């Protein structure tokens, strides 16, 4: 299979883990990178073996050898540059969320449908065996009927000048870590009679940053009567990225479901026994890039496609509104 030819928008720190390492492991080519700071782009290319540097994001999109782009820009730049990449005929692997709000995510979804290109939102955890096993336990009835899902995504605060605190750049706890917790709730839709609906949400603003959520908790309900609880914060004492699913006959717990390469345990407890399964520490980003490549090369289905991204963004917006806040503003380029 021909190596996927990737262009990287920006020189974000996450790119090393999320695209550079997986590209090396899967044989993909890192054709080009562009960043606002030319020196930073040159340094990134030299460090990571990227073939060439472009002077601007648009110049990268115009490169005919680039067939797919990875978009790790600040949240507020996801939507605009995803739209530009699709208009340029490029397949898109975008960091989450795919857009600043549901209206913009709908624009992206419509552009994907009209283009026929592959679009994947980078909820990488969804492609790893840890999450697949949690879903399998429910699907096969090993835990009985689904009753409750708890997703926790909390972390200590980033620096005050971090873009994740910027309202114009679509920042906030929900947009950075909470989106994982909400998306993971939606992953149980096939086993709960349909998608979860928001029951209530509560949030707190970051001091001196009106409109920017420091934390948000939400309660959900599935059509079959199962409940969901979401806890997210960017002002916690310690990191906790966990998922617990409870059924009528037992429960399963993944202590670090979004970063299974750090901890690949799935702890299963039933009335009869408790056991620990290890599902492998191969990175979730590598599984993700393999899935993306398979979609581009072979037309394989995409789990976190543009329709899924829109549904998640609608739930994020609903949480903001229910908590008395406003959805994130779109960024005009």
Query: Is 271 one of the catalytic residues?
Result: no
CA distances from 221 to 185, 193, 226, 245 (A): 10, 11, 6, 14
- Which position among 90, 96, 207, 244 bears the catalytic label? 96
- Active site residue ranges: 96
């Amino acid at each position: 299979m021909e190596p996927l030819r990737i262009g990287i928008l920006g020189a974000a720190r996450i790119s090393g883990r999320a695209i550079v390492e997986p590209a090396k492991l899967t044989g993909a080519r890192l054709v080009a990178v562009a960043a606002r700071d030319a020196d930073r782009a040159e340094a990134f290319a030299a460090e990571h073996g990227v073939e060439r540097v472009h002077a601007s994001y648009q110049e990268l999109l115009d490169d005919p050898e680039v067939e797919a782009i990875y978009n790790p820009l600040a949240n507020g730049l996801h939507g605009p540059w995803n739209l530009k990449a699709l208009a340029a005929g490029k397949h898109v692997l975008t960091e989450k969320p795919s857009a600043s709000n549901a209206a913009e995510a709908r624009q992206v979804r419509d552009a994907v449908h009209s283009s026929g290109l592959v679009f994947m939102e980078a909820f990488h955890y969804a492609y790893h065996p840890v999450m697949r096993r949690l879903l399998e336990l429910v699907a096969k009835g090993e835990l009985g009927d689904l009753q409750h899902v708890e997703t926790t995504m909390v972390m200590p605060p980033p620096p005050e000048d971090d873009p994740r605190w910027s309202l114009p750049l679509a920042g906030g706890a929900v947009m950075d870590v909470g989106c994982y917790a909400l998306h993971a709730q939606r992953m149980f839709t096939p086993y709960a009679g349909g998608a979860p609906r928001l029951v209530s949400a509560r949030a707190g603003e970051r001091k001196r940053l009106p409109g920017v959520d420091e934390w948000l908790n939400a309660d959900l309900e599935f059509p079959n009567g199962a409940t969901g609880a979401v806890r997210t914060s960017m002002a916690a004492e310690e990191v906790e990225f966990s998922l617990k699913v409870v059924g009528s006959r037992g429960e399963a717990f993944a202590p670090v479901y979004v970063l299974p390469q750090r901890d690949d345990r799935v702890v299963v407890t039933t009335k009869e026994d408790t056991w620990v399964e290890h599902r492998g520490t191969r990175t979730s980003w590598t599984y993700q890039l393999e899935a993306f490549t398979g979609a581009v090369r072979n037309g394989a289905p995409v789990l976190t496609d543009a329709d899924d991204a829109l549904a998640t963004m609608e739930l994020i917006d609903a949480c903001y509104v229910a908590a008395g806040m406003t959805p994130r503003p779109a960024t005009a380029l």
